[in-house]
Amino acid sequence: MTMTAARRRQWLAWVLIGGPLAIFAIWGLVDNARLFLVTLLNGLTLGALYFIVASGFTLVFGLMRNVNLAHGSLYLVGGYIGFIVAERTGFWILAVAAGFAAAALAGLLLQVLVLRHMQGQDLRQTMVTIGLSVVVADLLIWIFTAQVHQMEAPSLLQGPIRGIPIINAYSAYRLALLGMGIGIGFGLWWLLNRTRVGMMIRAGVDDRAMLSAAGVNVNLVFAITFALGAGLAGLGGVIGAVELSMVPGEDTRLLLASLIVVIVGGMGSVTGAGIGAAILGLAETYGLAYAPTYSVVFTFLILILVLAFRPRGILGKAA
What are the Cα distances from residue 209, in Å, to 1, 49, 148?
40, 36, 47
- Arithmetic mean of pLDDT, 240-245: 83
Residue range 14-32: mean pLDDT, rounded: 86
- Banded model confidence at residue 17, pLDDT cuts 50, 70, 90: confident
Q: 84: pLDDT confidence band, cut at 50, 70 and 90? A: very high
Cα(4)–Cα(254) distance, integer angstroms: 40
Spatial contact of 284 and 43, defined as CB atoms under 8 Å apart: yes
β-partners of residue 168 are: 164
- Amino acid letter for position 164: I
Q: Which residue has the higher pLDDT, 197 or 5?
A: 197
Q: What is the pTM of this model?
A: 0.89
pLDDT, position 65: 79
* Percent of the chain predicted with pLDDT > 70: 97
User: For 127-171, what is each residue's pLDDT tens digit?
Assistant: 999 999 999 999 999 998 888 888 888 888 888 888 888 888 999
Residue 1 scores a pLDDT above 60 = no
Q: Are 103 and 235 in contact (CB under 8 A)?
A: yes
Taking only the tens place, the pLDDT of each residue in 44-54 is 999 999 999 99
Residue 209 has pLDDT above 80, yes or no: no
Residues 6+ apart with CB under 8 A from 132: 70, 73, 110, 114
Assigned CATH topology for domain 34-157+170-309:
ABC transporter involved in vitamin B12 uptake, BtuC (1.10.3470)
DSSP-assigned letter for residue 246: B
